[in-house]
């Protein structure tokens, strides 16, 4: 069993104030595979003090110094990628190949992109007689989720550090092991003491203490919309900046003339990836009414091919939540196309939900409005393009989406009508350098790329004499 007994502050593994611990359970086997300390408000105070103390020196460091240490860290992550992937697999259930390619491979790409941005960025510019200066915002609290624990850690901490900020990380209790190992790599990289700090613990205690702390200048949070609302409310007491990446109910819209097999196949794969535990998953498939029967057949075929390749959901409680939503869909009189209650083996004693597709789903159904966070796809139909846009925009969320059309130009025209932070047209690839974030209740602010890096700067205008 992997055991960590300390928090990380000021470049040292420090004994926590409290004696509480948290067991980490492998959702595949149900076995306890790790144990971490449960941090306290006092531990938060220790870590924030370390970050505050380290900030002036790190904020004044040169771009070349930051690039050098980030390059060392990137090489260490790449060198240890198989171990990190294994940790992700046992803490939240992703199959090893997925953990290696997406949960670890994508963070490596993020670090590489941030290094490239640092090498070319201009920290100052002239506008008239004003010198516009970007300065690091200060101490950043990074509160990360369990569905992509390493990726979200890197997407928050690395741009913050690159901008000259110092960070205090609160990892997810459900899946903390990859974050602890990453912290060991941070220590090995030579990052100055206090720039990166780690305090595990409950959101209601450690997360709230970070959001409320007067010496924390910014909170970057990824998680549920409910929890994000609480973080924003607590952070408002001290008027600190808040970046929130929250829930989603993303639509994949098929327009007349699109390549149906490609569109439906890609939508099913996207929806079910990471066993449906992605806030950006395309969980609603919106199709012309006269194509519903064909779409149902294609979706059922895709679900059947995928089912045996997925890992479990990350916990028993998550499995039960998915079951509750599947039952809700049945109660709402949605028509089951494939999957259903239980798991692929026919019982209910594992954390593997069945890959499920519903049709005849209407806009007022809860399964069309609420984030399920499991491998469940709903099919909705429309008569006109205007109705398709209305359905796609008709949830409280706006994180991601897709459009499938006969031409890219037609797809682009429809994409401009969607109130969502990212839209893929005809299978356009994910771009690590493009900003990611949501409209409406999907969040505030952006991660990734140049725009994501700029979240961690303050802007100062210095008026020069003419």
Give the mean model confidence (pLDDT) for residues 336-357. 90
pLDDT at 123: 81
pLDDT digits (tens, 9 = 90+) for 279-310: 999 999 999 999 999 999 999 999 999 998 99
CB 254 within 8 A of CB 217: no
Lowest mean pLDDT, pick from 12-21, 131-140, 338-347, 447-456: 338-347
CB 165 within 8 A of CB 141: no
Which whole-number Å values give the CA distances from 199 to 7, 48, 173, 422, in the listed order? Answer: 5, 10, 11, 32
Name the DSSP class of 99: I
pLDDT digits (tens, 9 = 90+) for 269-286: 999 999 999 999 999 999
Contacts of residue 434, defined as CB under 8 A and 6 or more positions apart, other chains included, come to: 422, 448, 449
Active site residue 165: no
pLDDT digits (tens, 9 = 90+) for 5-25: 999 999 999 999 999 999 999
pLDDT digits (tens, 9 = 90+) for 169-195: 999 999 999 999 999 999 999 999 999
Q: State the CATH architecture for 2-246+442-463.
A: 3-Layer(aba) Sandwich (3.40)
State how far the Cα of 41 lies from the Cα of 140, in Å rounded to an integer. Answer: 16
With a cut of 70, say whether residue 348 has pLDDT above it.
no
pLDDT digits (tens, 9 = 90+) for 411-424: 999 999 999 999 99
pLDDT at 188: 98
Q: Do strands 356-359 and 335-338 pair parallel, antiparallel, or not at all (unpaired)?
A: antiparallel
**Mean pLDDT, the chain, integer:** 97
pLDDT at 11: 98
- Classify domain 250-431 by CATH number: 3.40.309.10
Domain with CATH 3.40.605.10 in the chain: 2-246+442-463
State how far the Cα of 46 lies from the Cα of 54, in Å rounded to an integer. Answer: 13
With a cut of 80, say whether residue 86 has pLDDT above it.
yes
**Active-site residue (options: 81, 91, 271, 279):** 279
Give the mean model confidence (pLDDT) for residues 357-384. 98
Domain with CATH 3.40.309.10 in the chain: 250-431
The predicted model scores a pTM of 0.96
With a cut of 80, say whether residue 347 has pLDDT above it.
no
Name the DSSP class of 371: -
Please give the share of the chain, as a percent, with pLDDT higher than 90: 97
SS3 387: helix
State how far the Cα of 67 lies from the Cα of 73, in Å rounded to an integer. Answer: 10
Query: Which has the closest alpha carbon to 283: 408, 410, 156, 370?
Result: 370
Give the mean model confidence (pLDDT) for residues 194-200. 98
**Active-site residue (options: 173, 245, 296, 455):** 245
């Amino acid at each position: 069993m992997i055991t960590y007994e300390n928090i990380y502050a000021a470049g040292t593994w420090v004994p926590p104030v409290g004696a509480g611990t948290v067991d980490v359970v492998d959702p595949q086997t149900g076995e306890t595979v790790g144990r971490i300390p449960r941090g306290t408000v006092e531990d938060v105070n220790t870590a924030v003090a370390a970050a505050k103390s380290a900030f002036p020196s790190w904020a004044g460091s040169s771009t070349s110094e930051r690039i050098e240490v980030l390059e060392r860290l990137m090489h260490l992550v790449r060198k240890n990628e198989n171990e990190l992937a294994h940790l992700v697999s046992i803490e939240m259930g992703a199959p090893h190949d997925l953990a290696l390619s997406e949960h670890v491979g994508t963070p490596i790409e993020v670090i590489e992109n941030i290094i490239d941005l640092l090498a070319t960025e201009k920290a100052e510019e002239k506008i008239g007689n004003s010198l516009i200066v970007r300065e690091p915002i200060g101490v950043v609290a990074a509160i990360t989720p369990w569905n992509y624990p390493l990726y979200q850690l890197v997407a928050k901490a690395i741009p913050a550090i690159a901008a000259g900020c110092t960070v205090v990380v609160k990892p997810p209790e459900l899946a903390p092991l990859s974050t602890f190992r990453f912290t060991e790599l941070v220590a090995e990289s030579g990052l100055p003491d206090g720039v990166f700090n780690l305090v595990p613990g409950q959101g209601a205690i450690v997360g709230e203490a970070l959001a409320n702390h007067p010496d924390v200048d910014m909170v970057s949070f990824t998680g549920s919309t409910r929890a994000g609302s609480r973080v924003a409310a607590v952070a408002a007491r001290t008027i600190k900046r808040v970046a929130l990446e929250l829930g989603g109910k993303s639509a994949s819209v098929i327009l007349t003339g699109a390549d149906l097999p490609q569109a439906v196949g890609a939508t099913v794969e996207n929806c079910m990836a990471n066993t449906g535990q992605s806030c950006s998953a395309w969980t609603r498939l919106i199709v012309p009414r006269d194509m519903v029967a064909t779409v149902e057949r294609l979706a059922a075929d895709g679900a059947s091919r995928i089912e045996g390749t997925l890992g479990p959901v990350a916990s028993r409680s998550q499995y039960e939540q998915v079951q509750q939503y599947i039952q809700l869909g049945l109660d709402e009189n949605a028509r089951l196309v494939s999957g259903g209650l239980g798991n692929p083996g026919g019982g209910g004693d594992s954390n593997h939900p069945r890959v499920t597709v519903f049709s005849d789903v209407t806009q007022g159904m809860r399964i069309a409005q609420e984030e399920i966070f499991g491998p469940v796809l709903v099919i909705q139909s429309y008569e006109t393009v205007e109705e398709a846009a209305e359905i796609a925009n008709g949830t409280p969320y706006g994180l991601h989406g897709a459009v499938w059309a006969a031409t890219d130009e037609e797809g682009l025209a429809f994409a401009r009508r969607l109130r969502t932070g990212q839209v893929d047209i005809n299978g356009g690839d994910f771009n690590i350098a493009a900003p990611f974030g949501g409209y409406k209740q999907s969040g505030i602010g952006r991660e990734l790329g140049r725009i994501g890096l700029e979240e961690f700067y303050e802007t100062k205008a210095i008026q020069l004499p003419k």
